[in-house]
């Protein structure tokens, strides 16, 4: 009798769970689902509040993708970042068929305006090339954005953390570029990521608003570079109150001893909020850093956790020292 009663109960539970989430499938050859990621996103209703997972099969997806505001709670799920690539080649100066000209804000391969977005095991690329100028791979504007085991590939201005009130979390990601390849106004934590420089230039160009206590925070990351790259700064201020901190990072020899750059404006030295804490490696030259960077105390550094910086939506966000 108990089994007879319990069986309908579990069937109802399974149906209710399925109704609470939607799974869409994308395959480059169109078999068994959508043939493009944008087509899957277009199938999500405006104002969506139901979790949607888009499973992306291995392949190269050459497309410009826009996740609009209001299509929240979407997860892009790949099988492996090495085999799942979303790529396009727009860049600043490109003239579109209608006559409009692409700029930095409109050059991205993948635009995220929605909130509560997650990407797992996917590569995002802008393959416009080294000489193309600003060519964004991901334009991240929504709030509560999370990237796990993802790759961000390109040259200048690769990852645009744009939204002033946007909070973003990158875990175990690989981010490469040439000039200012991580930039913008958002509050962002990079946790155990590899940051790879492909040119003698600058890693970050933060434009943190004055009222935001944190900008870009790198926790336990590795900073590497192509062979022959020897003159890279940790960052320069795109706006006066630029905030960037590196804690417990392994810094390669490609980072210049002075560490930071004032973007040819000494006034920026009075307002930029740059900090370091217990970094290691040949590029962690504490005694040669510019005078206007702060070395955090142990007490100050204790506050630099993903949970504290980004809020309670990050689960298990605190990184051990």
What is the DSSP annotation of 165-229?
T-EEEEES-EEEESSS-EEESSEEEEES-EEEE-SSSEEEEE---TT-S-SEEEES-EEEE-TT-
Digitized pLDDT (tens) for each residue of the chain, 321 residues in all: 445 544 444 444 343 444 467 999 999 887 879 999 999 999 999 999 999 999 999 999 999 999 999 999 999 999 999 999 999 999 999 998 888 999 999 999 999 999 999 999 999 999 999 999 999 999 999 999 999 999 999 999 999 999 999 999 999 999 999 999 999 999 999 999 999 999 999 999 999 999 999 999 999 999 999 999 999 999 999 999 999 999 999 999 999 999 999 999 999 999 999 999 999 999 999 899 999 999 999 999 999 999 999 999 987 433 333
pLDDT tens, 110-121?
A: 999 999 999 999
Indicate which CATH number applies to the domain containing 39: 2.160.20.10
pLDDT score recorded for residue 315? 74
Contact 140, 118 (CB under 8 A): no
Dihedral of the alpha carbons of 260, 265, 271, 273, in degrees to the nearest 10: -20
Residue with tokens 């193309």, as numbered in its chain? 132
The pair phi, psi for residue 150, each rounded to 5°, is -110, 160
pLDDT tens, 209-228?
A: 999 999 999 999 999 999 99
What 3-state DSSP class applies to 285? coil
pTM here? 0.92
Q: How many domains does the chain have?
A: 1
Q: Is residue 63 situated within a structural domain?
A: yes
Phi-psi region of 171 (alpha: psi -120 to 50; beta: other; left: phi over 0): beta
- Please list the alpha-helical segments (H only) found in the chain: 2-19, 37-42, 268-271, 298-301, 306-310
CB neighbourhood size of 8 (10 A): 9
Write out the two tokens for 163. Answer: 């939204």
- Report the alpha-carbon distance of residue 83 to residue 93 in Å, rounded: 30
Q: Is residue 222 situated within a structural domain?
A: no
Q: Is residue 55 situated within a structural domain?
A: yes
Tell me which of 42, 180, 191, 211 is the catalytic residue: 180
Residue with tokens 């399925």, as numbered in its chain? 18
- Report the alpha-carbon distance of residue 281 to residue 296 in Å, rounded: 18
The pair phi, psi for residue 53, each rounded to 5°, is -110, 125
Contact 74, 43 (CB under 8 A): no
Of 216, 217, 137, nearest to 177 (Cα)? 137
pLDDT score recorded for residue 20? 67
Q: Is residue 107 situated within a structural domain?
A: yes
The pair phi, psi for residue 234, each rounded to 5°, is -70, -25
- Report the alpha-carbon distance of residue 150 to residue 240 in Å, rounded: 30
Q: Is residue 213 situated within a structural domain?
A: no
pLDDT score recorded for residue 286? 87
pLDDT score recorded for residue 319? 34
Q: Is residue 241 situated within a structural domain?
A: no
Q: Is residue 153 situated within a structural domain?
A: yes
Write out the two tokens for 89. Answer: 């080649």
Contact 113, 67 (CB under 8 A): yes
Query: What domain range includes position 51?
Result: 21-177
Residue 180 appears among annotated catalytic residues = yes
């Amino acid at each position: 009798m108990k089994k007879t009663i319990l069986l309908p109960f579990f069937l109802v539970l399974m149906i209710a769970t399925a109704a609470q989430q939607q799974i869409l499938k994308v395959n480059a050859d169109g078999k068994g689902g959508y043939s493009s990621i944008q087509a899957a996103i277009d199938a999500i209703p405006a104002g969506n509040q139901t979790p949607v997972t888009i499973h992306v099969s291995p392949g190269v997806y050459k497309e410009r993708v826009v996740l609009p505001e209001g299509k929240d709670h979407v997860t892009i799920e790949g099988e492996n970042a090495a085999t799942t690539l979303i790529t396009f080649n727009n860049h600043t100066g490109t003239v579109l068929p209608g006559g409009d000209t692409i700029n930095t804000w409109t050059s991205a391969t993948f635009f995220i305006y929605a909130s509560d977005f997650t990407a797992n095991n996917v590569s995002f690329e802008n393959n416009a090339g080294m000489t193309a100028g600003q060519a964004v791979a991901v334009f991240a504007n929504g709030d509560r954005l999370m990237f796990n085991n993802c790759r961000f590939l390109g040259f200048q201005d690769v990852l645009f953390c744009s939204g002033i009130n946007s909070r973003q979390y990158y875990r175990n990601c690989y981010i490469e570029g040439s000039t200012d390849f991580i930039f913008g106004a958002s509050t962002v934590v990079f946790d155990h990521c590899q940051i790879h420089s492909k040119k003698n230039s600058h890693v970050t160009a933060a434009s943190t608003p004055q009222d935001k206590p944190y900008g870009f925070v790198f926790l336990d990351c590795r900073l590497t570079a192509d062979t022959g790259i020897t003159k890279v700064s940790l960052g320069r201020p795109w706006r006066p109150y630029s905030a960037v901190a590196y804690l417990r990072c392994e810094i390669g020899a490609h980072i210049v001893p002075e560490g930071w750059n004032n973007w040819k404006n000494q006034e920026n030295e009075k307002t930029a909020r740059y900090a370091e804490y217990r970094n290691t490696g040949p590029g962690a030259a504490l005694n040669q850093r510019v005078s206007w960077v702060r070395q955090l105390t142990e007490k100050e550094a204790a506050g630099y956790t993903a949970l504290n910086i980004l809020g309670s939506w990050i689960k298990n966000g605190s990184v051990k020292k």
